Chain A
């Protein structure tokens, strides 16, 4: 009767984020779909673009840490034990990877369209 319920976690995140949670869920699903379709269209990863976007993604990692510091009224300078460094790394990596994938996908779709237009004209 006392089942672990994923809806509980969802409820907590909903209380934390409000309607923003739905926007984030939709954005993640749409972004993943767009990334997947891009991989299919381009028949794989575009290495040069990936490396460029990974560099830009570092800014996303830094922004994630900044956001975390803002909302928790603290910062990574407060780290006191190993789990804190793990959390800091996790937040940074999520921001880095997320930003890299978003930029890669945006440039893949929009950049491709921009390249195609002068040729079409």
Chain B
């Protein structure tokens, strides 16, 4: 998260934002009273009656952000022609990948079907968008189908670029001590096998994060903590040396969280190396090569958790939608969409919105971000159809149940300004390792996520 750029406008103290947090706290308190809290904040945005319209709305991408957008639009509009475009039939509950990789859940835990969440009245085209032409208000699929729109919501997600690490191939995941939970459910399962073998023997464990924006920036840290705990439980911690390689000079983009993680790594005996970016891997010799300020550095490993560079899909990078190199050089290079960080509306194309991982905003590319971005973007879109304006504002709120050992996690919630935004101040301390937070992560998060996809949370 080294590309965060300060934004001139501050969202703190905005009436809409304050009201929303008050609502969130009230409802989360209610959830806590019901034994189970929900770490994704809950609220609904529903109009009294759906707005009549003939608007043609295209949603590119049917992952968490696309499906949630479709659900909200279907609830708020009547008569609109809403088209979801995505080729992938299975839906992945990505926040569960860490639990699969930790050996706690089977890979089936994170797999369902996209079609199960497509709202009634919304058309799903099983293809990918190959070309975005926002000037002509048209997208073209890889099957050659051109679709014109009045409004476009881009929710394509991102691309994992394993190929940018020399010698790395996704087929290697689960072999030669190589793991990578990000690649998908099967890879997360294979990563668990590799970690389990490592935990039996001990040796040298190497962990890292990429030098790009990434989804769930807490996951590299979580997986390091999980590995340390498995080694401890199997009595092999003394035979293992764990190293976490950070791409920059911090462990997490929020300084106070970064410091807490540094302290925990110190307690658990995890060595930290700053300013290391994985550039190559030699599976045969089990050597990882990192770029550092002083040149290349080789680290041998018995287990390595590879997290690849991430960037926008090619169709977005080839379109006029990303940030320009003048305004945001790093985001331009990775192709993230140029959207207003408070409204998620494209800065140059007012009928285009970007939500989820593809949005070029600071902070979280997480399910919690989706939860809070989508109602804001949809509110602005609906207001535009109505010819009015909306004061809905996304403050950058996101959350991360940061697992620090099996059975405990820290509920880290924050916003664009690096402020901690605890939902239960004084009850669930954000930097405290708690079983309660772990219970939320393992029990309440998935049902909350699925409710979000259905537009009910």
Contact = CB atoms under 8 A, between A and B. Distances in A.
Interface of A: 1-9, 11-16, 68, 71-81, 83-84, 87, 90-91, 94
A87 B439 contact: yes
Contact of B456 (A11, A75, A78): A11
B435 A87 contact: yes
A83 B436 contact: yes
A73 B454 contact: no
22 contacts: A1-B46, A2-B23, A2-B45, A7-B456, A8-B27, A8-B43, A11-B454, A12-B448, A13-B447, A15-B451, A16-B446, A68-B439, A71-B442, A71-B443, A73-B406, A74-B435, A79-B435, A81-B433, A81-B436, A84-B434, A87-B35, A90-B35
Contacts of B457: 8, 11-12
Interface of B: 19-20, 23, 26-27, 30-31, 34-36, 38, 42-48, 99, 104-105, 406-408, 424, 427-429, 432-436, 438-439, 442-444, 446-448, 450-451, 454, 456-457
Contacts of B434: 80-81, 83-84
Contacts of A75: 407
Contact of A84 (B19, B45, B435): B435
Contacts of A7: 44, 456
Contact of B44 (A8, A78, A87): A8
A16 B427 CA distance: 24
The 5 A-B pairs with the shortest beta carbon distances in the complex, nearest first, are A78-B407, A15-B447, A11-B456, A74-B407, A16-B447
Name the prevailing secondary structure of the A interface residues: helix
A2 B76 CA distance: 13
A76 B439 CA distance: 11
Nearest to B24: A4
Contacts of A3: 44, 46
Given A15-B450, A16-B447, A74-B438, A9 B31 contact: yes
Nearest to A88: B435
A87 B436 contact: yes
B45 A72 contact: no
Contacts of A94: 35
B215 to A, nearest CB: 22
A71 B47 CA distance: 37
Contacts of B34: 9, 13
A5 B30 CA distance: 11
A62 B124 CA distance: 48
A52 B356 CA distance: 56
B408 A80 contact: yes
A14 B457 CA distance: 12
Nearest to A94: B35
B436 A8 contact: no
B17 to A, nearest CB: 12
Contacts of A71: 442-443
Contacts of A76: 435
A72 B444 CA distance: 10
A74 B19 CA distance: 36
A72 B42 contact: no
A62 B34 CA distance: 19
Contacts of B48: 1
B285 to A, nearest CB: 36
B451 A12 contact: yes
B301 to A, nearest CB: 27
B390 to A, nearest CB: 10
Given A12-B444, A16-B447, A74 B47 contact: no
Given A16-B447, A90-B35, A9 B438 contact: no
Contact of A91 (B26, B35, B406, B456): B35
Nearest to A91: B35
A74 B434 CA distance: 12
B104 to A, nearest CB: 5
Nearest to B407: A78
Contacts of B99: 73
B424 to A, nearest CB: 8
Contacts of B42: 8-9, 12
A72 B442 contact: yes
Contacts of B105: 73
B26 A4 contact: yes
B20 to A, nearest CB: 7
Nearest to A79: B435
Contact of A4 (B27, B407, B446, B456): B27
A12 B23 contact: no
Given A72-B443, A91-B35, A94-B35, A2 B448 contact: no
B44 A83 contact: no
Nearest to A64: B35
A15 B454 CA distance: 10
Given A4-B27, A12-B42, A12-B457, A81 B447 contact: no
A84 B44 contact: no
A79 B408 CA distance: 8
A87 B424 CA distance: 14
